[in-house]
């Protein structure tokens, strides 16, 4: 009878020491993550201005949606949910996320497959491929902004010399190409990240599977579809979730490459503009809260959906 | 006795040393550098340091005033003591009035020397929030050599300018200069486009973005005509990339000799006329064109002014610095070296300034009658008004909706923004 009592004391001690070790981290997390988040959500329900955040008054859901009755059957909806600029920002963000993640996954996969084979100088190429990822986003965005300049940019110069275009394209200024320019830079920058994650997945695939397929004379494309892809799928899906989370809160590339341009403004850009440029701190806080909710919902939805697929594949 | 004397001598020397080190403070001044601003400011600060023993650091900011404003607001709302003196855009200081020291008393003895309109623009509810440093008013820069070559007069209306630009651009391109453009201006969506846009509209008789009494009449045919004219430039006489140009982009094209006309602020004059400039001696400036007969030219009142932060640990020294930088000698030097129009009226009439920058005395009436942006009428909502306006103008220029549609949308947005009042 003495044994279980002893055991529970031991496990109690373990639980205790675990909490002791976790406490500093939890305290730090509470200060740097939970507190700002709660504060932001709170400000979203007030009329706070950045000059006097202390004088904020509770206004309920007015920043989100409010019907102003002008009388006589006339009235208008105000608030984020009725704000076309906000929905445009949401749409821009989703569009950006979809295309950037799609192309980064495809290109990342191709690069990973190449790097997974044995060839001379492979380690050098692996290091070289990582360079765009190593450059800080703000630096690469500014660098590309110069390269895409319509008068002095090297990109136009090269394309003109190759006779692909007949006159300089204003990549970041033209509404038709502004989003494309942002996508090009982001794909250039983040493909190495995807390649690295997928490569890690590829290296987990047992080599003897390929040898068996080779002996049976199965076409490489079929091997890729039936063997490689299912086996690396978990790694790819994790990479996609990581990348999508990042893409949904994109700010720096857009802000540097196409500042104040409504055609590319994302949710983060919209929130910052209201928080600091305009005298609408509460409205910007509400936008940040919605941004947080949208990211959370999309991530949960994506994880659920892919789990079902994974189960079906098996 | 002798010992005592030495002793007091040492004491005196020591206390003198200590008072110097206690009196010497370190100040930080922040501003966005365009052209030669940093260089000249440093020179003036060096003199100030030598005179007072204090040190002053320059904290440099990005070129876009929109970016600067966001950062200033962050610093000030966090009550940051890091920055003592802010050099801030004419429209910025009134919006941040509650964070700045009232300079009324400290400048009571000198304020009469300043251009009244400039002082007025920085006075909020009787409080002087910033001491005017230099004014800005844009001009139409033109290549006098090319106008002569093609026998064209200096244009007075926007239409004339368009035609002249097209003729010269076509002619130069036919001669092999493929990079030649007719007109460059500030077309990026930011505060600069608000200035350009209101000049076009006002010079066509389309009124102000928001009238002085706060009413909104921007959705009118004259305004649409002005924007349609501007839209016709993009891709024809102006490069498509002008939709992302700020001041320095436009100057880059003009100064490298690749543009016939440019709309830019005064600062560009000194640089385009510099020793290393390819267009030195080949260009001149005139007032911005008008829409048609009976219309008046509009030049947006710009300028940068010095405000002292309430959170500065050394407000007295900061105020002294602001007064020093804006005294007659320094304003004169700035006028000569950077072609920035001064805020001290007497500098306009100084013969040395007239000799070095013939431009400045000629600009006195333009600056004195410059068109202010509606920052006084719209108060703390100005930034948002400006953003809605530049978006409407930028959308029109880039072909996203017609001028009529965008102006109607702008009117609705401004009315909504105004609500019960500004």
Contacts of B399 in chain A (CB under 8 A): 175
Does a structural domain hold residue A291?
no
Q: pLDDT value at position B16?
A: 46
The answer to whether the CB of A132 falls within 8 A of the CB of A253 is: no
| CA separation for the pair B132, B342 (Å, rounded) | 9
Mean of pLDDT values over B342-371:
87
Does a structural domain hold residue A208?
yes
Percent pLDDT > 90 in chain B is 64
Task: Extract the tokens encoding A156.
Answer: 């136009």
Same domain, B69 and B88: yes
Q: pLDDT value at position A4?
A: 54
Reported as a single tens digit per residue, the pLDDT across A288-312 is 999 999 999 988 888 888 775 544 4
Q: Which helix (H) or strand (E) holds A42?
A: helix A35-43
**DSSP, residue by residue, A246-290:** HHHT--HHHHHHSTT-TTT--HHHHHHIIIIISS-HHHHHHHHHH
Read off the CATH number of the domain in which A174 is found.
1.10.3720.10
Does a structural domain hold residue A241?
yes
Which strands, in side-by-side order, build the sheet including B131-136? B55-61, B26-32, B85-89, B302-308, B131-136
Read off the CATH number of the domain in which B369 is found.
3.40.190.10
The domain total for chain B is: 2
> Which structural domain, as residue segments, surrounds residue A150?
83-279
Of A170, A260, A280, the CB nearest to B189: A260
Percent pLDDT > 70 in chain B is 95
Q: pLDDT value at position A202?
A: 92
Same domain, B150 and B117: no
Q: Which residue from A minimizes the CA distance to B98?
A: A51
Cite the beta strand spans of B137-178 per DSSP E: 139-143
Judged by DSSP in three states, A89 sits in helix
Does a structural domain hold residue A307?
no
Give the distance from residue A7's alpha carbon to the nearest chain B alpha carbon, in angstroms.
53
Reported as a single tens digit per residue, the pLDDT across A226-236 is 888 988 998 89
Beta-carbon separation of B66 and A259 below 8 A = yes
Does a structural domain hold residue B92?
yes
pLDDT bucket at A117, cuts 50 / 70 / 90: confident
| CA separation for the pair A87, A76 (Å, rounded) | 17
Q: pLDDT value at position B150?
A: 96
Same domain, B126 and B226: no
Could you give phi then psi for residue B311, rounded to 5 degrees?
-95, 10
Most B CBs within 10 Å, among A277, A283, A285, to test the B interface: A277
The domain total for chain A is: 1
| CA separation for the pair B9, A79 (Å, rounded) | 74
Q: What is the mean pLDDT of chain A?
A: 88
Does a structural domain hold residue B1?
no
Same domain, B59 and B125: yes
Give, in order, the Cα–Cα distances in Å from A228 to each of A240, A309, B217.
17, 17, 65
pLDDT bucket at B121, cuts 50 / 70 / 90: confident
ipTM confidence score: 0.75
Contacts of B243 in chain A (CB under 8 A): 170, 173-174
Q: pLDDT value at position B120?
A: 84
Q: pLDDT value at position A5?
A: 55
Maximum average pLDDT range among A121-135, B28-42, B388-402: B388-402
Least confident piece of the model among A43-57, B76-90, B220-234, B386-400: A43-57
pLDDT of residue B8 exceeding 80, the answer is: no
| CA separation for the pair A190, A239 (Å, rounded) | 11
Q: Which residue from A minimizes the CA distance to B401?
A: A175
Q: What is the mean pLDDT of chain B?
A: 89
Of B74, B189, B241, the CB nearest to A151: B241
Reported as a single tens digit per residue, the pLDDT across B53-76 is 999 999 988 878 888 888 898 899
Contacts of A263 in chain B (CB under 8 A): 400
Reported as a single tens digit per residue, the pLDDT across B169-193 is 999 999 999 889 999 999 999 999 9
Q: pLDDT value at position A309?
A: 54
Reported as a single tens digit per residue, the pLDDT across A38-72 is 999 999 999 988 877 778 889 989 999 988 776 77
Same domain, B262 and B314: no
A62 at B interface, C-beta within 8 A: no
Give the distance from residue A289's alpha carbon to the nearest chain B alpha carbon, in angstroms.
20
| CA separation for the pair B181, B173 (Å, rounded) | 9
pLDDT bucket at A210, cuts 50 / 70 / 90: confident
Using alpha carbons, select from A135, A110, A123 the residue that is nearest to residue A195.
A110
Beta-carbon separation of A277 and B70 below 8 A = yes
Alpha helices in B237-369 (DSSP H): 247-255, 267-272, 315-325, 328-338, 345-348, 351-356, 359-368
**Rounded to 5°, angle at Cα A183 from A177 and A188:** 125
pLDDT bucket at B18, cuts 50 / 70 / 90: very low
Does a structural domain hold residue B11?
no
pLDDT bucket at A6, cuts 50 / 70 / 90: low
Give, in order, the Cα–Cα distances in Å from A43 to each of A49, A273, A286, B38.
9, 16, 7, 39
Task: Extract the tokens encoding B15.
Answer: 């206390």
Does a structural domain hold residue B320?
yes
Mean of pLDDT values over B317-335:
94
Does a structural domain hold residue B76?
yes
Q: Which residue from B minimizes the CA distance to A146?
A: B249
Same domain, B95 and B180: no
Most A CBs within 10 Å, among B92, B188, B241, B409, to test the A interface: B241
Among B residues 237-276, those touching chain A with beta carbons less than 8 Å apart: 239-245, 249, 252-253, 258
Contacts of A259 in chain B (CB under 8 A): 64, 66-67, 188-190
Q: Which residue from B minimizes the CA distance to A84?
A: B413
The answer to whether the CB of B179 falls within 8 A of the CB of B196 is: no
Give the distance from residue B417's alpha carbon to the nearest chain A alpha carbon, in angstroms.
10
Does a structural domain hold residue A311?
no
The partner residues of A71 in beta bridges, in order of sequence, read A74
Does a structural domain hold residue A249?
yes
How many residue pairs from chains A and B have C-beta atoms closer than 8 A? 94
Percent pLDDT > 90 in chain A is 52
Same domain, B144 and B210: yes
> Which structural domain, as residue segments, surrounds residue B40?
26-135+302-373
Does a structural domain hold residue B77?
yes
Does a structural domain hold residue A76?
no
- Burial string for A237-267 (b: 16+ CB within 10 Å, else e) reads bbbbbebbbebbbbebbbbbbbbbbbbbbbb
B57 or A277, greater pLDDT: B57
pLDDT bucket at B133, cuts 50 / 70 / 90: very high
Q: pLDDT value at position A8?
A: 77
Using alpha carbons, select from B144, B418, B162, B116 the residue that is nearest to residue B286.
B144
CB under 8 Å to B119, separation ≥6 — which residues?
A: B111, B128, B132
HSE value, Cβ hemisphere, 13 Å, CA-based, for B201? 30
| CA separation for the pair A243, B420 (Å, rounded) | 45
| CA separation for the pair B127, B147 (Å, rounded) | 48
CB under 8 Å to A120, separation ≥6 — which residues?
A: none
pLDDT of residue B6 exceeding 70, the answer is: no
Largest CA distance in chain B: 95
Beta-carbon separation of B240 and A272 below 8 A = no
Q: pLDDT value at position B385?
A: 94
Mean of pLDDT values over A158-185:
89
Same domain, B362 and B381: no
Same domain, B347 and B272: no
Least confident piece of the model among A5-14, B83-92, B140-149: A5-14
Same domain, B203 and B168: yes
**Rounded to 5°, angle at Cα B402 from B399 and B408:** 135
Does a structural domain hold residue A5?
no
Least confident piece of the model among A94-103, A213-222, A266-275, B219-228: A213-222
């Amino acid at each position: 009878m003495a044994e279980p009592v002893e055991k529970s004391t031991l496990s109690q001690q373990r639980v205790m020491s675990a909490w002791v070790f976790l406490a500093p981290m939890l305290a730090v997390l509470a200060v740097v993550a939970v507190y700002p988040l709660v504060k932001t959500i709170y400000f979203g329900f007030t009329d706070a201005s950045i000059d006097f955040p202390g004088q904020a008054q509770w206004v309920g859901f007015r920043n989100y949606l409010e019907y102003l009755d002008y009388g006589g059957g006339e009235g208008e909806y105000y608030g984020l949910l009725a704000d076309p600029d906000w929905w445009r920002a949401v749409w821009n963000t989703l569009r950006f996320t979809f295309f950037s993640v799609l192309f980064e996954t495809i290109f990342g996969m191709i690069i990973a497959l190449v790097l997974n084979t044995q060839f001379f100088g492979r380690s050098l190429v692996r290091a070289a491929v990582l360079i765009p990822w190593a450059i800080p986003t703000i630096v690469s965005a500014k660098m590309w902004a110069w390269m895409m300049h319509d008068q002095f940019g090297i990109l136009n110069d090269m394309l003109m010399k190759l006779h692909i275009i007949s006159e300089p394209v204003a990549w970041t200024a033209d509404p038709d190409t502004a989003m494309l320019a942002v996508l090009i830079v982001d794909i250039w920058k983040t493909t190495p990240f995807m390649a690295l994650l997928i490569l890690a997945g590829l290296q987990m695939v047992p080599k003897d599977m390929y040898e068996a397929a080779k002996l049976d004379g199965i076409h490489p494309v079929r091997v890729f579809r039936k063997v490689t892809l299912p086996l690396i799928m978990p790694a790819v899906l994790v990479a996609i979730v990581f990348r999508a989370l990042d893409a949904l809160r994109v700010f720096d590339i857009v802000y540097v490459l196409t500042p104040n341009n409504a055609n590319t403004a994302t949710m983060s850009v919209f929130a910052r503009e209201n928080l600091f440029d305009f005298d609408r701190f509460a409205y910007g806080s509400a936008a940040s809260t919605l941004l947080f909710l949208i990211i959370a919902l999309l991530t949960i939805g994506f994880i659920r959906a892919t789990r079902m697929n994974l189960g079906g594949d098996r | 006795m002798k010992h005592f004397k030495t002793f007091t001598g040492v004491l005196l020397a020591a206390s003198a040393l200590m008072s110097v080190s206690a009196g010497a403070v370190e100040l930080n001044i922040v501003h966005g550098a365009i052209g030669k601003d940093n260089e000249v400011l440093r020179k003036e600060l060096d003199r100030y340091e030598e005179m007072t023993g204090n040190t002053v650091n320059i904290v440099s900011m990005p070129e876009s005033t929109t970016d600067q404003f966001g950062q200033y607001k962050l610093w000030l709302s966090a009550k940051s003591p890091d920055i003592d003196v802010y050099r801030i855009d004419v429209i910025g200081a009134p919006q941040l009035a509650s964070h700045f020291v009232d300079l009324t008393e400290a400048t009571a003895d000198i304020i009469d020397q300043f251009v009244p309109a400039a002082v007025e623009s920085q006075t909020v509810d009787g409080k002087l929030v910033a001491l005017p440093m230099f004014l800005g008013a844009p001009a139409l820069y033109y290549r006098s050599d090319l106008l002569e070559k093609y026998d064209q007069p200096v244009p007075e209306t926007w239409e004339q300018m368009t035609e002249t630009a097209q003729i010269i651009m076509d002619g130069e391109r036919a001669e092999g200069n493929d990079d030649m453009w007719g007109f460059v201006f500030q077309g990026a969506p930011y505060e600069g486009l608000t200035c350009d846009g209101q000049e076009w509209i006002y010079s066509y008789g389309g009124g102000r973005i928001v009238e002085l009494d706060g009413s909104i009449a921007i959705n009118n045919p004259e305004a649409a005509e002005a924007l349609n004219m501007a839209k016709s430039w993009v891709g024809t006489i102006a490069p498509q990339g002008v939709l992302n140009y700020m001041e320095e982009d436009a100057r880059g094209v003009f100064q490298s000799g690749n543009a016939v006309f440019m709309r830019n602020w005064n600062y560009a004059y000194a640089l385009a006329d510099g020793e290393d400039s390819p267009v030195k001696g080949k260009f001149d400036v005139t007032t911005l064109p008008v829409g048609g007969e009976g219309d008046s030219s509009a030049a947006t009142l710009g300028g940068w002014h010095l405000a002292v932060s309430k959170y500065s640990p050394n407000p007295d020294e900061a105020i002294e610095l602001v007064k020093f930088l804006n005294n007659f000698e320094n304003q004169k030097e700035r006028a000569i070296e950077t072609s920035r129009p001064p805020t001290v009226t007497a500098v306009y009439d100084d013969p040395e300034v007239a000799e070095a920058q013939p431009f400045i005395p000629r600009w006195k009436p333009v600056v004195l009658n410059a068109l202010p942006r509606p920052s006084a009428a719209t108060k703390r909502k100005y930034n948002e008004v400006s953003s809605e306006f530049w978006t409407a103008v930028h959308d029109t220029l880039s072909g996203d909706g017609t001028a009529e549609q965008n102006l109607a949308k702008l009117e609705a947005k401004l009315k909504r923004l105004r609500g019960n009042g500004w």
